[in-house]
Amino acid sequence: MYDRKTWFIVIACSMLLAANIHYSTKARQEAAANAPKPPETPTAPATPGAPGASKEGGVLGSETPAAPVDEKLITLETKEMVFTLSTLGGGIKEAEVKSQFEVGSKDKRVRMNRFGNGPIGAIAGGGQTLENISYSYLEAKSIPGKKAVFVGTHPSGLVARKTFSIIEDGKTGSPYLLDFSLELENAAAGPVSLDAYSLYLGEASPLYQKEWAQQTTYLYRDSGSMHFNDVGKFKGGWFGADKSIITNDSEKLEFGGVANQFFATVIRPQEPQAGKLWAKPGDVSITPGAAPVKSVSAGFGLPALALASKESKAFTYQIFMGPCDNTLLSGMGNHWSEVMNYGYFSLAAGPLNWLLNWLHKAFSGLGNQWAWGLAIIFLTITVRTAIWPLYAKSTRSMKRMSKLQPEMTKLKEKYGDDPNRMNQEMMKLYKTYGVNPIGGCLPMLIQLPIFFGFYRMLQYAVELRHQGFLWVDDLSQPDTLTTLAGIPINVLPIVMAITSFIQMAMTPKTGDKTQQGIMMFMPFMFFFFCYSFASALALYWTTTNIFSIVQTWLTNKMPEPELKERKLVSGKKSFMERMAEKQQEMERMKRMQADGKGPVIDVTESKKKRPPRTGG
């Protein structure tokens, strides 16, 4: 019985990974014709005579010219980014990453916020609707290519002056950062509450049609805790309605943003602030003729302050727009590395990413067509070698367990009608031969965080974009050689499945025929779930299987473990025996209570008057 439980634990561990992959694949971007669309974001240009309109000695001084109606684009550029700012909304309309290109292209740069309803840094009013008013570009206050200053008046009479500046301090990450200052002044006759407004964090959408839905997220760090919410959060489930907006209250917002698999937009206040975060889904078309995919837009509220007439308030932020590169973000310090969506496996994924980059530098002399692929292979070998003792212990325990199968079968036949007696006899059998029934599974459970961390790290490794290996053109994409009848032929997943079967066939067999059949079916399951994996993940998994085959072959060459009866210490019981006895005692008490022979509980004692509660 406990052998069966052991295998159920092994299968459950594997099924957790499979279920995660299955959910990711099933949740890929789908057409959402029936999903509610986010509210339109109308443009509301300022009009002459509106409260706060420019005039000599008026709000923000005489430097404010009449707001233009036509859009004007201004460019700020660093060595890594091209930021395009717009007078419509007064913010970053889009940003191009100079060294990164769209999937399948060698000249079209990745454009962040390309489907945004407005520019990053725009102000949203009631209902989180962007007030994309026309701002004035203050050329006299700006520096071409380095600094851009905008002034605009909102319908409520709130006048906003925005300044965007590139950072040239030479520190890690500065080419992806902008300083952003926001000065607000109330030009209306009455007070204006700032918590009715929010800052637009931008839009994130998949880079390609088959990118997993869970990789498109809005994120924020609140009171020291990091939160990621993918677009699947907008789905209501089996019985709920889809959500058109999600809001969260933040007590101490440190930063917030949106991200896809490889790129993020994050706005960080100079000082943490309280406010409301919001996020909306959207439907965007990235492939002509294909179904739309899900994007996410987000924003966070301004502090709960009320500005009296003519009163002003200034806020300072930093805007990050760039790749989710763990090495880059870790070098920036101040918790920027938490933008990496490693989840619960950060402790494993972070060091693995560092080691991957170190190995890449070691192989860089061989050229980009080899360096990253070899780095993945050797990192896999390094990790598997480090956990070899765990694997060896697991295999040895499974072999010892398999040698007990004849005796266990006899016990099941003899005591099949008496589960308690069968448990007792099995515990004696394990104790007699010194076999731990969970000895084969426990080392596997210890290895799982490492494997999941490895998988998660490769999934978000932006360094692998556009990097080839052997026949693979891009390690962040499937290694499709050709298509047959519209079906892509991906080589690495096929090799992965074959090596999985070989590895399974070499593993010591325990359990009954049904359990063994389930285990042999698992390579099929992983093959179908993982067929559209990035080739880096398939390369890692294939390397793992090949290493396991060699490892199992060497282990099988070693002398078989022997089952020897041990001298039992009288009165000393094993952990499994104590657990079995507790289980039997609980079952005995249940039977006694069912027969009316159990201990009587004095209900009057439990109903004694309690002292009054205090403190809420």
Q: Identify the top-confidence range among 22-36, 177-191, 537-551.
A: 177-191
**Tens-digit pLDDT profile for residues 328-380:** 999 999 999 999 999 888 888 999 999 999 999 999 888 778 999 999 999 99
From 103, 88, 78, select the one nearest 134 (Cα to Cα).
88
* Same domain for 250 and 198: yes
Alpha-carbon span 209 to 103, nearest angstrom = 10
pLDDT at 116 over 80: yes
Residue 204 has pLDDT above 50, yes or no: yes
Q: What is the mean pLDDT of residues 574-581?
A: 57
The whole-number pLDDT of residue 65 equals 44
- The mean-pLDDT minimum among 204-208, 362-366, 418-422, 473-477 falls in 418-422
What's the domain count of the chain? 2
Residue 77 lies in a domain: yes
CA gap 114, 202 in Å, rounded:
9
Pairs from 577-581 (Cβ < 8 Å, separation ≥ 24): 577/427, 577/431, 580/423, 580/424, 580/427
Mean pLDDT over 59-67 rounds to 44
Residue 597 lies in a domain: no
Q: Give the pLDDT of residue 147.
A: 96
Q: Is the pLDDT of residue 614 over 50?
A: no
Burial of 241 (0-12, 13-18, 19+ CB in 10 A): exposed
Q: Looking at the structure, tell me whether residues 222 and 362 fall in a common domain.
A: no
- Among the candidates 306, 341, 376, a domain finishes at 341
Domain ranges, residue 216: 31-341
pLDDT for the residue numbered 165: 97
In a domain, 100, yes or no: yes
pLDDT at 127: 77
Shared domain for 473 and 550, answered yes or no, is: yes
In a domain, 12, yes or no: no
Residues 97 and 224 in one domain: yes
Q: Measured between alpha carbons, how far is residue 257 from residues 24, 70, 84, 164, 573 in Å?
A: 22, 29, 18, 18, 56
Give the model confidence (pLDDT) of 458-492 as tens digits: 889 999 998 889 888 888 888 888 888 878 788 88
pLDDT of residue 237: 65
Q: What is the pLDDT of residue 506?
A: 74
What is the SS3 assignment for 399-449?
A: HHHHHCHHHHHHHHHHCCCCHHHHHHHHHHHHHHHCCCCCCCCHHHHHHHH
375 shares a domain with 306: no
Residues 310 and 417 in one domain: no
Q: Report the chain's mean pLDDT, rounded to a whole number.
A: 78
Which pLDDT score is estimated for 439? 56
- Selection from 258-272, 389-403, 557-571 with the highest mean pLDDT: 258-272
Same domain? For 214 and 238 the reply is: yes
Kind of pairing, strands 147-153 and 136-137? antiparallel
**Highest-scoring range by mean pLDDT, 16-25, 46-55, 482-491:** 482-491
CA-CA-CA-CA torsion for 108, 110, 111, 114, nearest 10 degrees? 90
The answer on 472 and 420 residing in a single domain is yes
Residue 616 lies in a domain: no
Rounded Cα distance, 317 and 299, in Å:
14
Statement: residue 81 has pLDDT above 90? yes
Partner residues linked to 148 by β-bridges = 164
Has residue 168 got a pLDDT over 60?
Answer: yes
Between 185 and 450, residue with greater pLDDT:
185
- DSSP states along 74-88: EEEE-SSEEEEEETB
Same domain as 398, residue 278:
no
Burial of 45 from C-beta contacts in 10 A (0-12 / 13-18 / 19+)? middle
Residues 385 and 503 reside in one and the same domain: yes
Does the residue 592 lie in any domain?
Answer: no
Residue 57 pLDDT: 34
Residue 585, domain member (yes or no): no
CA atoms of 221 and 338, how far apart (whole Å): 8
Instruction: Evaluate if residue 289 carries a pLDDT over 90.
Output: no
pLDDT 10s digits, 530-568: 777 788 988 988 898 899 888 888 877 776 666 666 665
Of 592, 492, 490, the residue nearest 541 (C-alpha)? 492
Q: Is pLDDT of 450 > 60? A: yes
pLDDT tens digits for 299-328? 999 998 899 999 999 999 999 999 999 999
Q: What are phi and psi of 225, to 5 degrees?
A: -110, 135
pLDDT of residue 343: 84
For residue 604, pLDDT over 80 is answered with: no
Same domain, 466 and 331: no
Using a pLDDT cut of 70, give the percent of the chain over it: 70
CATH code assigned at 51: 2.70.98.90
Of 203, 332, 208, the C-alpha closest to 265 is 203
Q: Given this model, what pLDDT does residue 554 score? A: 83
- Range from 27-31, 181-185, 303-307, 415-419 that averages highest in pLDDT: 181-185
Cα(292)–Cα(295) distance, integer angstroms: 9
pLDDT of residue 444: 64
Task: For residues 392 and 431, state if they share a domain.
Answer: yes
| Average confidence (pLDDT) over 105-109 | 88
52 falls within a domain: yes
